Amino acid sequence: MRICEGEGVTKYFGGLAAVIDVDFYVDQGEIVGLIGPNGAGKTTFFNLISGALAPTSGVILFKGDNITGLRPYQICRRRIARTFQLVKIFPDMTVFENVVLGSLFGSHNLRGSAQEEAMEQIRFVRLLEKKDMLARDLTVANQKRVEVARALATKPELLLLDELVAGLNPAEVDEIIALTKAIRDRGITVVMIEHVMKVIMNISDRIIVLHHGEKIAEGTPSQIASSKKVIEVYLGT
Amino acid sequence: MHAFGDHKKNLSQLALAILVVALLALVPACGSDYYVSLFISIFKYTVLTVSWATFCGPTGYMSLASAAFLGSGMYVTALLGDTLPLPLIVLIGGAASLLLALVAGLASLRIRGIFFAMFTLGLSEGVKGFINWWEISKTGRQGRLVISASGTTVFYTMLIILVMALLTSYLIRRSKFGLALRSIGQEQQAAEHIGINVNAVKLITFAATSFWIGATGSIIVTQWSYVDTQVAFSVFYSFMPTVMALFGGLGNMLGWILGSVVFTILSELLLTPFPYYYMLIFGIVIVSVFLFFPSGLVGLVTRWRKA
Amino acid sequence: MIVLEIVIGGLLTGGIYALLAAGFSLQYGVARVMNVSHGEFIMLGAMSTYSLYVALGVNPLVSLAIVGPVLFPIGFLLNKLLFQRIRKLAGSGDVFEGWSMLVSFGLLFIIQNIALLSWSADQRGYSFLAFPISLAGLRIPANRLVALAVALAIGFSFFLFLMRTSLGKAVRAAAQEETGAQLIGINIRWMHCLCFGFGASLAGLAGVLISTMFTVSPFIGLPYTIIAIIVVVLGGLGNIIGSLVGGLILGLVSSIVLHIEPSLELVSLYVLFMLILLIRPRGIFGK
């Protein structure tokens, strides 16, 4: 079943085309990888889905409803969550406060159940011992976990992960791979932007490739790995 | 956010607060006009400071609109003073202020830091100029006579307004609203993505805290028999809440209250011996605060405790 | 005829506004201080010129040469001793902007009250070149024409300074991109003090000109500060040339409103200000 799809999604910044006429779909329960060279428009694409930006033209549907141009908080309440390329945790709040904000405003209304939900997500990302630490005092890897826990606390059905693995060492990368799989096993559909090929090839069911704002390829990891177009784009001709 | 230890602390804090209010309520009975007047001043500046800081503290906005709110309340009384009962007028003063805040907030809360400060400064001066023009074209005069109320009436009304303002602030800060405000101040885009309607939260808080400023203006103007726009919308009221909150320590409510109380008493102490140099010394004090006590009184106390 | 009157009036007011705003723009654009006491330097220039004229018979045009150089070191030292220290204590740029604005508010109090103690609150005026001159069918007071000429001369010199001299280019560089400017060897702290000093001087010069045409008192500062803020936002925060252009535009608007409903002049400027902030906060030339 298609949980999210878009047609003709385009974004211009003045004269600069960041995303051009992209058609896409995401099936429920998939892990979709989104790759492309720097400046390909991947984060802009996420911004268009999450509501941070409104498309110049085109339509985005989620579970059949038109979500084009909605505000981010409305999109969150429809069960789409995301993380950010540059971590946007709330630095002067504890890990717990960061995550409970997600459950208080994104999914639950009562204090009690929101607190329980937050604790569960903190446990899930393995940050329980650090729950009362200020977010600014954590390592970047742990801050990313906080962001994931906070996003999960809003009980999303679709989770957009933006370069979760950037700057992590190999052991941390393996943990993220395991975490992503665990998220999918909970029934959450995942779309992830990544540069680290090991991660993308390893866990994606399908991959979409963007270049200069356009979708240039789409398919399974093995199809993408053998696509001449993709190889050209990454290695140059 | 955690269970039982909190309850005990809450109860003892509440008991202390009730005690303080009860003691304050006895002040007029001790018969000194000077002290009644002093406390009215303290109440007034505390309402201004706490209302300002409840919104601006966690979000990091610098609002200079307090003069607009206070002056609006004053002019409500000046215009309606002899046609309606006083309690109603105070409520209308608060409502006028709230309406102004809603309109101004809808227009300006989307814009960034320094621009918001300039917008609110422009608002205060603009409302002042507009009412001035309106007065001159309608009455030909710049100022206007106001109904009077006794010192005791003003005292108790201000005490009620103070308690309500503190209560409003406390409830906002301790609720999920307060947490949301802090998150907006720290990382607004992330806050919006976890389901917080950022514009609504900012607007409601900005407007709710302005209500008590307007009500304050409505009642304190009855202490003077005459008001004009220079006095009602003085730029002093735009900046002082910020200075006092910073002076006391921005982080918590006690700091704001401390800052306004100490600053008001300080200015009273300066006024009597130095009636001509008073404002000048005030300016020097403000500059010195930033040079020597940047983290405010509360910060100073914290450092003493640690040392 | 009316059009010519409005245009000349607009140029005159605009020339003064451009000077005020240029000074403010230097202080905010380079030193990053939102100096709410800027208008007080205008007031000091005006009041000193009045006293020099009335007590010593000094020609206001000569006062230009006195006020400018006297206010420059005052502005320079204020930045060096006060605002640099605040910058160190504040830590982040945003906190510094907020604190320096509040500190300048304290300065406003100090300067205004020193002036009140020295001169009292009364309005002061003097007569200088008050006879009318016929120009293109209009009768314009000579002092206004002289003030316009001087304002345009100072403004134009300042413009040339910014565009043609290496120091001027360094100032523009520092306003546009502070880190980049440092990387090419500009001593940024010294630049902050310099620009603050220039800003104070320009304000004082504007004050001298104002005193030749209008009555002045220790209270004229804040309305001029707000006008400076409006012009700077209109022209584009941080763009110094923009403030010169913005000043002329605002002068023209002011002149037009003056012909329609004189007492709404200031209010209309505030309304315009708020509209700019809402529709295009970066102004005409802003980034």
- pLDDT at position B1, please? 43
How would residue C244 be classed by pLDDT, with cut points 50, 70 and 90?
confident
Domain membership of residue B9 (yes or no) is no
Contacts of C57 (CB under 8 A, 6+ apart): none
B177 contact residues in A (CB cutoff 8 A): none
Alpha carbon A113 to its chain centroid, in Å, reads: 25
Domain membership of residue C178 (yes or no) is yes
C271 contact residues in B (CB cutoff 8 A): 126
Structure tokens at B162: 């103070």
Residue with tokens 């023209």: C252
How would residue A235 be classed by pLDDT, with cut points 50, 70 and 90?
low
Q: Which of A155, A175, A190 is the last residue of a domain?
A: A155
> Quick check: B297 pLDDT over 70?
no
B133 contact residues in C (CB cutoff 8 A): 263-264, 267
**Are residues C233 and B118, on separate chains, in Cβ contact within 8 Å?**
yes
Domain membership of residue B270 (yes or no) is no
How would residue C127 be classed by pLDDT, with cut points 50, 70 and 90?
confident
B194 contact residues in A (CB cutoff 8 A): 73, 76, 81, 101-102, 105-106, 150-151, 153-154
Partners of C124 in beta bridges: C216
**Are residues B195 and A88, on separate chains, in Cβ contact within 8 Å?**
no
Give Cα separations from A55 to A22, A37, B177, C64 (angstroms).
11, 21, 31, 56
Neighbours of chain B (3+ CB pairs under 8 A): A, C
Query: Model-level pTM greater than 0.90?
Result: no
**Are residues A97 and B1, on separate chains, in Cβ contact within 8 Å?**
yes
CB A106 within 8 A of CB A76: yes
- Cα nearest neighbour of B183 on chain A: A90
- Cα nearest neighbour of A154 on chain B: B194
- pLDDT at position B64, please? 92
Mutate to test the interface with A, among B183, B187, B193, B202 (most CBs of A within 10 A): B193
Domain of residue A6, CATH code: 3.40.50.300
Domain membership of residue C280 (yes or no) is no
Average pLDDT over residues A139-160: 94
- pLDDT at position A79, please? 93
Concatenating the DSSP letter of every residue in C83-100 gives IHHHHHHH-SHHHHHHHH
How many residues belong to chain A?
237
Number of domains forming the structure of chain B: 1
> Quick check: B209 pLDDT over 70?
yes
Average pLDDT over residues A9-37: 92
Pure H helices in A93-227: 95-106, 111-124, 140-153, 170-185, 197-203, 221-225
> Quick check: B302 pLDDT over 70?
no
Burial classification of residue A13, based on how many CB atoms lie within 10 Å of its CB (0-12 exposed, 13-18 middle, 19 or more buried): exposed
3-state secondary structure of B82: coil
Q: Which of A130, A155, A180 is the last residue of a domain?
A: A155
Span B125-143, pLDDT tens digits: 889 888 988 888 888 777 7
- pLDDT at position B3, please? 39
C223 contact residues in B (CB cutoff 8 A): 125
CA distance A154 to A103: 5
CA distance A206 to C158: 62
Pairing relationship of beta strands A16-27 and A206-211 according to DSSP bridges: unpaired
C222 contact residues in B (CB cutoff 8 A): 125, 235
Q: Express as a percent the part of chain C with pLDDT over 70.
A: 99
Q: Which of A159, A149, A146 is nearest to A193 (CA)?
A: A159
CA distance C161 to B91: 57
B276 contact residues in C (CB cutoff 8 A): 117
CA distance B72 to A27: 57
Position A138, amino acid: L
Out of B183, B187, B197, whose CB is closest to A73? B197
Q: In which domain, by residue range, is C84 found?
A: 2-119+140-266
**Are residues B119 and C114, on separate chains, in Cβ contact within 8 Å?**
no
User: Do A120 and A207 fall into the same domain?
Assistant: no
B198 contact residues in A (CB cutoff 8 A): 73
User: Do A108 and A211 fall into the same domain?
Assistant: no
SS percent in chain A: helix, strand, coil, step 5: 40, 25, 30
Out of B111, B287, B294, whose CB is closest to C281? B111
**Are residues B283 and C271, on separate chains, in Cβ contact within 8 Å?**
no
Mean pLDDT of chain C: 86
- Cα nearest neighbour of B3 on chain A: A112
Span C193-210, pLDDT tens digits: 999 999 999 999 999 999
Give Cα separations from A97 to A13, A100, B60, B183, C192 (angstroms).
36, 5, 19, 10, 41
CB B189 within 8 A of CB A50: no
How would residue A134 be classed by pLDDT, with cut points 50, 70 and 90?
very high
Mutate to test the interface with C, among B100, B244, B280, B295 (most CBs of C within 10 A): B280
Q: Express as a percent the part of chain A with pLDDT over 90.
A: 68
Mutate to test the interface with A, among B192, B194, B203, B250 (most CBs of A within 10 A): B194
Q: In which domain, by residue range, is B145 found?
A: 30-238
Least confident segment among A115-119, B144-148, C67-71 = B144-148
Radius of gyration of chain C (CA): 18
Average pLDDT over residues B26-33: 78
Average pLDDT over residues B206-223: 94
CA distance A191 to A26: 8
- Cα nearest neighbour of B286 on chain C: C106
> Quick check: B4 pLDDT over 70?
no
Out of C90, C117, C266, whose CB is closest to B129? C266
Number of domains forming the structure of chain A: 2
Q: Which residues of C touch B (CB under 8 A)?
A: 34, 82, 85-86, 89-90, 94, 97-99, 101-103, 105-114, 116-117, 222-223, 226, 229-230, 233, 237, 263-264, 266-267, 270-271, 273-274, 277-278, 281
Average pLDDT over residues B216-227: 90
C117 contact residues in B (CB cutoff 8 A): 276-277, 280
CA distance C278 to B262: 38
- pLDDT at position A181, please? 93
> Quick check: B2 pLDDT over 60?
no
User: Do A162 and A150 fall into the same domain?
Assistant: no
Average pLDDT over residues B221-242: 88
Structure tokens at B154: 């003003």
Of A125-134, A162-171, C168-177, highest mean pLDDT = A125-134
User: Do A97 and A214 fall into the same domain?
Assistant: no
* Dihedral Cα C148, C154, C155, C161, nearest 10 deg: 160
Q: How far apart are the first and last CA of chain C?
A: 38
Structure tokens at C7: 């245009």
- Cα nearest neighbour of B200 on chain A: A73
Alpha carbon A222 to its chain centroid, in Å, reads: 22
> How many CB pairs (< 8 A) connect B and C?
116
Of A191-195, B14-18, B276-280, highest mean pLDDT = A191-195
How would residue B231 be classed by pLDDT, with cut points 50, 70 and 90?
confident
Domain membership of residue B224 (yes or no) is yes
User: Do A151 and A188 fall into the same domain?
Assistant: no
Residue with the bigger pLDDT between B271 and B108: it is B108
Q: Which of C234, C240, C105 is nearest to C170 (CA)?
A: C240
Neighbours of chain A (3+ CB pairs under 8 A): B
Span A153-194, pLDDT tens digits: 999 999 999 999 888 888 888 888 899 999 999 999 999 999
Partners of A34 in beta bridges: A193, A208
The number of CA neighbours under 13 Å toward the Cβ of C162 is 23
CA of C106 vs chain B CAs: smallest distance (Å): 4
Average pLDDT over residues C217-221: 88
CA distance C164 to B177: 55
Phi, psi of C132 (to 5 degrees): -85, 150
B201 touches chain A (CB under 8 A): no
Out of A73, A89, A147, whose CB is closest to B195? A73
- Cα nearest neighbour of C88 on chain B: B291
Out of C110, C112, C274, whose CB is closest to B122? C274
User: Do A13 and A70 fall into the same domain?
Assistant: yes
Residue with tokens 């607060």: B17
How would residue A236 be classed by pLDDT, with cut points 50, 70 and 90?
low
Number of domains forming the structure of chain C: 1
A84 contact residues in B (CB cutoff 8 A): 189-190
Q: In which domain, by residue range, is A123 found?
A: 88-155
Q: Which of B248, B245, B262 is nearest to B53 (CA)?
A: B245
**Are residues A101 and B180, on separate chains, in Cβ contact within 8 Å?**
yes
Q: Express as a percent the part of chain A with pLDDT over 70.
A: 98
User: Do A65 and A109 fall into the same domain?
Assistant: no
Q: Which of A122, A155, A188 is the last residue of a domain?
A: A155
**Are residues C90 and B294, on separate chains, in Cβ contact within 8 Å?**
yes
CA distance C33 to C79: 9
**Are residues B179 and A77, on separate chains, in Cβ contact within 8 Å?**
no
Q: Do chains C and A touch, with touching meaning 3 or more CB–CB pairs less than 8 Å apart?
A: no
CA of B136 vs chain A CAs: smallest distance (Å): 46
Span C67-100, pLDDT tens digits: 999 999 999 999 998 888 888 887 777 778 888 8
User: Do A118 and A7 fall into the same domain?
Assistant: no
- pLDDT at position C261, please? 81
- pLDDT at position B296, please? 67
User: Do A164 and A232 fall into the same domain?
Assistant: yes
CA of C277 vs chain B CAs: smallest distance (Å): 7
**Are residues C110 and B284, on separate chains, in Cβ contact within 8 Å?**
yes
CA distance C44 to C203: 9
User: Do A235 and A165 fall into the same domain?
Assistant: yes
Average pLDDT over residues C146-170: 87
Domain membership of residue B297 (yes or no) is no
Domain membership of residue C196 (yes or no) is yes
Partners of A65 in beta bridges: A62
B186 contact residues in A (CB cutoff 8 A): 90-93
